[in-house]
Every structure is written in structure tokens, then in C-alpha cells.
Structure 1
Amino acid sequence: MNKRKLLGAVGAAVAIAAVVTSCGDGTTRSRGWEFSRNMYDPIGYNPDQPNANFADGKTAQMPPAGTTPVGFERFPYTSSTADYERAGVELINPLARTEANLAQGEALYQVYCAVCHGPEGHGDGSITKDRTLEAESRQLENFPPPPSYARTDGINSSRGGLMADLNDGKIYHTITYGLNMMGSHASQLSPEERWKVVMYVRELQKK
């Protein structure tokens, strides 16, 4: 048998084998052998799958008591006024006062805070002023202005004391939980970002 006939026979055998192995028996959905099946079948369980490794047969388990999720920082204060005062006594900004941190704090303030508190912290943000929806010629609702941070304005906080005298802990607590019409910003700002905003607000208090 010459090489051409040998190659032809081998090719025909491979083709027949491929056809035979790809055909099912008409009763199953099997497509025959699959290459590297474990490459696309996950070894781990999906959260909603049954799991015999646990007594309750569930994959999704409650985390052990006292554990902290990765990337999560616990804040051991409630939203109460008592814990607001306690935060004011116990918390100090852990970040160093650098030009970079201050610049980042200003940028975050302008994005998340200035719309209400104003670019300079005087409580004159854009949503406190008359605004018209041009497409409908409709006057938009104005929000009451928040108190100014500036010492020269001499405005009191609704929880007592001058806004200019609010310390690190009280400002951080308020950003975390919100107050009055201001909602919590804990989901928008990470703990480190909140401290950077606190750093910038302390600068606004000096004006």
C-alpha cells in the first residue's frame, strides 16, 4: 500500500469515527465526547445550588459571627444623637493633611455635596435656587438651603453649636448617616473618601 492509499484510509477512518461519535441514539441529547469539559464546568458550587457538604444542604451560608467582609469597614456608631456626640469626641481624621488628599476631598465635595451645600459651603447649592425645566417650561421645586459652614456666617447646626465648630467625627457621622433632608452618603463614598471630604469641609469652615 503506497502512502497516498494509506493516508486516504486513515482520513476515511477518522471521518467515519467523527460521524459515528457525533451521532446520538435518538433518545438523548448527548453530542459525544467533549474536549476539556472541566474547562467550562465550574468546580465550585453556585450560591443557589444544593450542597451536601453542609448540614442544611445549602451552598449559601451565613458568615460566621463577628467576621468582616473583605473591603468592608465597620462603623461602631448608630445614627442616634448620642452616638453623633460620641463620634465627635472619639473620632479624628486618620488621613494626613496633604495637598493630594485635600485636592481629592475638594473634588469629591464638588461632585456629591456642592449641589446642596454650595461650592464654597455657604448653603447656596444649585437645587436651592430657582430652576426651570426648559423642555416643559416648568418651575422645579426648590430645596431649603442647608446651613453654611463658614465661620463668618455664624450659622448654628440643627443639633447645636456653630456649623464652623463641627469637628471631624461629627462631620463624618453626618456624611455616613445623613441628617434631616440630607440622605446617607455611605453608599456613594468609601470611608477613606468620606475622610477626605471631612478634610475639605474643615477648610471651608475657616472662611
Structure 2
Amino acid sequence: MKHLIKITIIAILAVSFTSCNKKSRPNYQYMPNMYESVGYEAYQESDAFANGQEAQLPVEGTISRGYTSFDYTNDVEGYDLAKAELKSPLDSTQFDEPRAKELYTIYCGICHGNKGAGQGKLVKREKILGVPSYDDAGRAINEGSIYHVIYYGKNSMGSYANFLSEEERWQVVSYVMKLKADLEK
């Protein structure tokens, strides 16, 4: 009798499962784009970018996270204005000399030299010429002019705005001012 009850229960379960399956309609797919994704080939034409652009432009009026606008233009007038107005937001307690020295050595020392005398390794090897010393006569540099040059570059020196954050740029500016004071002694 017990075997008959077990066989009956198994038969009822089998019939109920097969009766729910209807071959005439497809099963419902939850999030079908996960199952059948669109395949893209590298470097293929795409209509994701309008008007033949290589990248999409951000929405007008948006500002990147961590971005602070720099209100001085990349010309002589902007340089002179930055030299006259721009002051470092760092005070003496915020100046981290070991970190600033490390940043200066990485980004500036190769050309300007570790002491700021314009005798970096590239100058000594004559790969580039005319790198000025920070204490050259007629070069009245200050915090604003140094920051402007780091931000935009000048002459054969390129911009370092993409390599250094705003706070790191001001650390380097403070370190350059320290080197300038050491050279003038």
C-alpha cells in the first residue's frame, strides 16, 4: 500500500509539472538584454556619437568632480594678471615640504634641477637648452606667475595641469618659492 501511495504522488507531480509547460508560447525573460547583448567590434562605426565626433561632450553647464575653475587666460595678459593677483591658499602649516620636494623632483627637477638653478639632467645632457634659474636677474617670479606657468605651460615647457591636482600645484609653487629664496642667499 505504501508503494502505491508513493507512485501515485510521483505521478501527480509529474503530470502537474508537464501540464504547466505550454510549447506554443515562449517563456518570459527577465531583462532580455542581459541574455542577448549587442556585440560590438573594436573600431567599428557607431551612431553613439553624433556628427562624427570621437567622443561625447558633457552636458552644457556641468563641472567635473574635483574641478576648480582657473579664471586667468592662457596669454600674456592672463600671466600678468595672475602674477599681480594670484596668491597661494596654503599657509605655512599646510606646506608639506617632503611631499612638495617629491612632486618637484618628479615633475620639475629633470629640467630645472633639484636646486632650481636650471641645471637639470636634460640641460646637462643638452637635450633642452635655455631653462632659466629661479634667481636669474630680471625674472621676478612669484606664486601667481609660477602657478600660471604650471597650469598652462610657457615657451617649451608644457602644462602640468593634468598631472598635478590643484593642491599639489600649490605645494610645488611653495617649494619653488623656497628654492628661489635659497638661491638668493
- The CA distance in 2 between the partners of 1:3 and 1:116, in whole Å, is 89
Worse-superposed segment, 121-130 or 96-105: 96-105
Check whether the contact 1:116–1:145 (CA below 8 A) recurs between aligned residues: no
Q: CA RMSD in A?
A: 3.5
- Count of matched residue positions in the alignment of Structure 1 and Structure 2: 163
2:59 equivalent among 63, 70, 82: 63
Q: Shift in Å at residue 8 of structure 1? A: 6.2
CA 1:33–1:142 in 2, change beyond 3 Å: closer, same or farther? Answer: same
Q: Gapped runs of 5+ residues in structure 1?
A: 42-46, 51-59, 131-140
Gaps of 5+ in 2: 36-46, 51-55
Match of 1:192 among 150, 157, 167: 167
Choose from 151, 158, 178 the match for 1:203.
178
Alignment equivalent of 1:172, drawn from 147, 172, 178: 147
Whole-Å Cα distance in 2 between the matches of residues 9 and 100 of structure 1? Answer: 81
Q: What residue number does 1:94 align with? A: 89
Report the secondary structure of 2:181's partner residue.
Answer: coil
In structure 2, do the counterparts of structure 1 residues 8 and 75 end up closer, same or farther at CA, with 3 Å as the change threshold? Answer: farther
Tell me: higher relative CO, structure 1 or 2? Use CA pairs within 8 A at least 6 residues apart.
Answer: 2
> Shift of residue 116 of structure 1?
0.8
Q: Report the AA paired with residue 68 of structure 1.
A: I
The whole-number CA distance in structure 2 between the counterparts of 1:24 and 1:48 is 38
Query: 2:95 touches 2:171 (CA, 8 Å); kept in 1?
Result: no
The structural deviation recorded for 1:199 is 0.8
| Residue number in structure 1 paired with 2:41 | none
Greater share of helix: 2
- Aligned-residue offset at 1:105: 1.6
Give TM-score scaled by structure 2 length. 0.70
Instruction: State, as a whole percentage, how many aligned pairs show the same letter.
Output: 33
8 Å Cα contact 2:100-2:172 kept in structure 1: yes
Is 2:178 aligned against 1:183?
no
Q: Deviations over 1:106-138 (max 9, x none)?
A: 1111111111111111112121233xxxxxxxx
Q: Is residue 2:127 matched to residue 1:142? A: yes
1:6 aligns with 2:9: yes
In structure 1, distance between residues paired with 2:10 and 2:49? 50
Q: CA deviation at 1:176?
A: 0.6
Could you tell me which residue of structure 2 aligns to residue 56 of structure 1?
none
Is residue 83–residue 145 contact of structure 2 (8 Å, CA) maintained in 1?
yes
Structure-1 residue corresponding to 2:42: none
Change in CA separation of 1:62 and 1:124 when aligned onto 2, cut-off 3 Å: closer
CA distance in 2, matches of 1:101, 1:190: 15
Give the Cα–Cα distance (whole angstroms) in 2 for the partners of residues 24 and 175 of structure 1: 70
Give the C-alpha shift of residue 33 in structure 1.
Answer: 2.9
Equivalent residue of 1:205, what SS?
A: helix
Secondary structure at 2:74 match in 1: coil
